[in-house]
Structure 1
């Protein structure tokens, strides 16, 4: 394959990724609008994710329309934690003063996430395996 052809293929992939990230960003903005309009006590980006999930579930939105952009965002997820790390450094005094309380919250939330993830995974394993007759 020629060098120009390789460049065009790469540019196409980059452009597709940018478009798909923009689609996901649109749903985050739409979620923010819904939260502002309805005064829901949750983050607008969470509402946007549920909108994407619902559209994917009902085949209104094809997975291929957001898959590359979502994969890119997941691969760069570490960048999203930089503000948290900066906040930890910025509020060092409060963390040192209330560190044990933070630690308890972190441990409890981690254990809760692990338990809920395990229960949901087991539920779906049994549900789909039961349909196929594997269990």
Structure 2
């Protein structure tokens, strides 16, 4: 299967999982966002080997590599809240910086863990 078709198919699979978990979160009035629930579901499916990493890896890598394109509308939408930004700007900046650092650190640790697990599997 050509790489582009494979990636599109994988993105559709991830989108459908996200769509389903959003509907589940809405239907059951869960306090957890559907997107977070989707990540948990994908993790569970991968860990239980119900889906293989190869089935979603190319599409997921493309989504992660282009994540900034998906965040631009959110950043532009913040401009509508000028009064909130002027009143609480420093607090918001602190929260953004701290949470970004935490996410980067844990993402790096998680990626290193995955890489070392892949290397261990290759050696065994």
TM-score bracket, shorter-length normalisation: 0.7 to 0.9
1:55 aligns with 2:45: yes
Q: 2: distance between equivalents of 1:110 and 1:72?
A: 21
- Cα RMSD of the aligned pairs, angstroms, is 2.5
* Higher Cα Rg, which structure: 1
Give the number of aligned pairs: 112
1:27·1:45 contact (CA, 8 Å) conserved in 2? no
Residue equivalent to 2:33: 43
Structure 1 equivalent of residue 77 of structure 2? 87
TM-score where L is the length of structure 2:
0.75
Structure 1 unaligned blocks of 5 or more: 1-8, 129-135
Cα distance between partner residues in 2 of 1:107 and 1:71:
25
Cα gap change, 1:39 to 1:21, in 2 (>3 Å): same
**Alignment counterpart, residue 104 of structure 1, candidates 80, 94, 97:** 94
- Match of residue 28 from structure 1: 18
Q: Which runs of 5+ in 2 are unaligned?
A: 118-124
Any idea what SS the aligned residue of 2:79 has?
A: helix
Deviations along 1:76-110, whole A, 9 cap, x unmatched?
A: 11111111220232223321222122133334434
Give the number of the structure with larger relative contact order, counting CA–CA contacts within 8 Å between residues 6 or more apart. Answer: 2
Match of 2:54 in 1: 64
| CA displacement 1:101-121 (0-9 Å, x = unmatched) | 213333443455467x29x76
